[in-house]
Amino acid sequence: MGVDREAFIEFMIESEVLTFGDFVTKSGRPTPYFVNTGRYRTGEQIRRLGGFYADAILDRWGTDFDVLFGPAYKGIPLSVTTAAALAERGHEVGFCFNRKEAKDHGEGGVLVGHTPRDGERVLIIEDVTTAGTSIRETVPVLRAAADVVLSGLVISVDRRERGPNGGAALAEVGDEFSMPTHAIVTVHDVIELAGLDVETTARMHAYLEEFGAAG
């Protein structure tokens, strides 16, 4: 079935998650647009978000995975709502996420939720990947828990920015960990489908010209 990309972009704009103006990225780059999934703040928004992720996952991976893993912090609600949406669509999977600091009391440990087992196929779910830092930090956590198979990485928006090696950052992360990657929409989809004015469109193109990956 796939995802209605235009509907997803409209949803992000309505939720004030995708905004346009003058911002600075975590890497210090001035950018004309910003994606902040921390702005999802109602039950209906998070329900719809899980549905978009679930549809994108089923379209790209089908049911070839066992567990959703959401890196802390923004990946936590993503893993939960997407697992619920997948269950509604007839695909029951486990979900887990990591703590920023290991718990030294009670059951202890770094992971919360499903305990990964050797051989399980884990799909990582994130919001936006710019440099891949959170993935590089959390993959070792997963692999320390069990001998898991990385089924892939799914994010909401691919900014199509250059990674450390000059290619697209999302693709570089996938290559580094030998896993497929997928975004619900790309920045090119945003430019095409968001109904932007001429000035904003020009600024978006200028940003990609300076910081974007080829292709």
The pLDDT tens digits of the residues spanning 49-96 come to: 999 999 999 999 999 999 999 998 899 999 999 999 999 999 999 999
Q: Give tens-digit pLDDT for 84-97.
A: 999 999 999 999 99
103 among known catalytic residues: yes
Domains annotated for the chain, with CATH where assigned, are 5-211 (3.40.50.2020)
Reported as a pLDDT band with limits 50, 70 and 90, residue 30 is very high
pLDDT at residue number 191: 98
Range 25-48 average pLDDT: 92
CA distance linking residue 154 with residue 19, whole number of Å:
21
Active-site position among 26, 74, 100, 103? 103
Is residue 107 scored above 70 in pLDDT?
no
Active-site position among 105, 182, 188, 205? 105
**Cα→Cα distances 166→135, 171, 187, 188, Å:** 18, 11, 18, 18
Q: What percent of the chain has pLDDT over 90?
A: 77
What is the residue whose two structure tokens read 């950052």?
169
pLDDT at residue number 102: 61
Reported as a pLDDT band with limits 50, 70 and 90, residue 131 is low
Mean of the per-residue pLDDT values for the chain?
92
